[in-house]
Amino acid sequence: MRNFIKQTFASLIGSLLGLFIFGGISTVGFFLLVFAAASSDSGPKVKDSSMLVFDLSTQITDGKPDSGLVLQQALSGNYRKQMTLRSVLDALEKARTDKQIVGVYLDARDASGAGSAGFATLKEIRQALAKFRDSGKKVVAYGVGWGEKEYYLSSVANTVMVNPYGGMEINGFSSQPMFLAGALEKFGVGVQIVRVGKFKGAVEPLVLKQLSPENREQIQTLLNDLWGEWRGTVGKSRKMTPQQLQTIADTKGLLEPDEAKTNRLVDKVAYFDEVVTELKEFTKTDSKEKSFKQIDIDEYAQIADKSLSKRSSENKIAVVYAEGGIVNGNGDAGEVGGTRFAKIFRRLRQDKDVKAVVLRVNSPGGSATASEIIQREIKLTRDVKPVVVSMGDTAASGGYWIAVDSNRIFAEPNTITGSIGVFGSIPNIQKLANDNGITWDSVKTGKYADIGTTTRPQSQAELAIFQNSVNRIYNKFLEKVAKGRNLPQAKVAEIAQGRVWSGKTAKDIGLVDEIGGLDAAIEYAATEAKLGEKWQLQEYPKASSFSERFFGKASEETQTIFKSSKNKNILESNHPLTVEFKKLKAEIAAVQNMNDPSGVYARLPFNLIIE
């Protein structure tokens, strides 16, 4: 036994040493890396007349990224800079009054990361940038290939510049849902659907080969609302009418740099070195220096965070980030686990220092059971302290379910919400199995003992049982919305039907109280709790402070050591075929994450992607 332990231990040590040698990093180097991360607590320094650099490829999330996932991405070479929306907003607000910061430089040379944030998130950042610009400081944006998302954010700048060999895509919004029914049919997989709501498009990819008229109508209406907001917002900054932007979209679509300048979408056509020279002059940087005086926004956010952390109070406002699909149980990183989030709200309800709660929802929904588990704890919490909801990019179906019992709901005009409807899907692989020589037989003690089996289609009587369950949950959903929003149930039934709405329209029909972002929701919560200025934020779910400090700061250094261009993940490619593969992967992941114990779901159409 002793030899076995010795050999096992030696093997383990050998494996670890081999890993470090193979990866090109020694044990000493590893500990130096840890030490470097820990010793960097002195923090970044800001030079006088510096530009705050905001790389638009930064991934913006609501909650703090999972530290383990960050390390995994770093080791695989797929790490992208990540920041929370809260950090970005705080950094921009501090920079607005910081005499050492003279402007913001929006670096859109590799702006593909902006696609990860939805328009509601970009709206909040854009408003913060506008406030910064209106203080008299300068905002400069430079890009190569502008898309609508990157340009939506960057058009707020005083000066917008594009590379001479770049371009701009202004052609409107589109959505191309992927349908799996033909593939399932080809492989012999059958799917039977039970649902309520003529607009519940979540099931259509499994049973149809194209959009139903109802689903086409709701997506068209949603896109019209979002595109209208885009044209109004961008047009105001660029002193253009919405119709002028529509004409460009309909007649140009893709603009060359000179065309973009002629159409007043950009101010200058310039190479990057020319931009650097201009920013050197603006920041009073010696011409011999390699670049202008600057500080990255993620580094500056550390300064902003330390400044805000000085605001100490026993009164806490808890911000809970419900980001991702809603699943039963604890859920993984990037998911809203019913059990885990219910526990968070129970603790916050019992914590006397927490005076109010802001629930930030960025979820397409998911498990009806998990949604109800969370919603119950939110209702109980509201009975003892204010609960305010801030809707992010998406707060639909189960994401709306958990919001209805709050004191007030805030959304951006381009938030995707509603989708009040439920469905269940029952697949069967009988034909697929039979075609490959697999058969089943059954022995049971009751007529419905094998209900829900995937080995055969469900009978009409079995489907009726499932339909009754879906109807019951749908009616409960309607009751919750009617009571929580103080609306007649008949009106809720009319605007429900699984239909998706923009935040602007949702406010008009009573599903949302106020147009505003996360900051507005926090301020309202403080007012409701009568806290004045005597409060401090706490964010949930909480992350380990050590793992945050180590993984967050060391990830880019680790990436540099382990990354090899030859091993670049194919999923990082922006090739059109790869983009479609990513969509398929996302659809499959959505199916895999369906774990409701009753098999009933309140979820947005599988993956509503706006391009």
Q: Which residues are catalytic?
A: 200, 397
- Token match 């859109």: residue? 108
The H or E element that residue 14 is part of is helix 2-22
Q: How far apart are CA 321 and CA 327, in angstroms?
A: 15
Q: How many CB atoms lie within 10 A of CB 366?
A: 30
Alpha-carbon dihedral of residues 130, 135, 140, 146, nearest 10 degrees? 0
- Token match 């945050």: residue? 548
Residue 388: both structure tokens together: 């305010």
Angle between helical axes of 460-485 and 368-382 (0-180°, round to 10): 20
Q: Are 167 and 145 in contact (CB under 8 A)?
A: yes
Q: Are 418 and 387 in contact (CB under 8 A)?
A: no
Residues 6+ apart with CB under 8 A from 135: 96, 97
Q: How far apart are CA 253 and CA 266, in angstroms?
A: 15
Q: Which amino acid is at 339?
A: T
Q: How many CB atoms lie within 10 A of CB 488?
A: 10
- Determine if the peptide bond prior to 605 is cis (ω within 30°): no
Q: How far apart are CA 437 and CA 109, in angstroms?
A: 55
Q: Are 121 and 393 in contact (CB under 8 A)?
A: yes
Q: Are 367 and 328 in contact (CB under 8 A)?
A: yes
Residue 271: both structure tokens together: 């190479």
Q: Where are the beta strands (DSSP E) in 364-487?
A: 365-367, 387-396, 408-411, 416-418, 422-428
Residues 6+ apart with CB under 8 A from 580: 178
Q: Which amino acid is at 451?
A: I
Q: How far apart are CA 57 and CA 88, in angstroms?
A: 13
Q: How far apart are CA 304 and CA 43, in angstroms?
A: 11
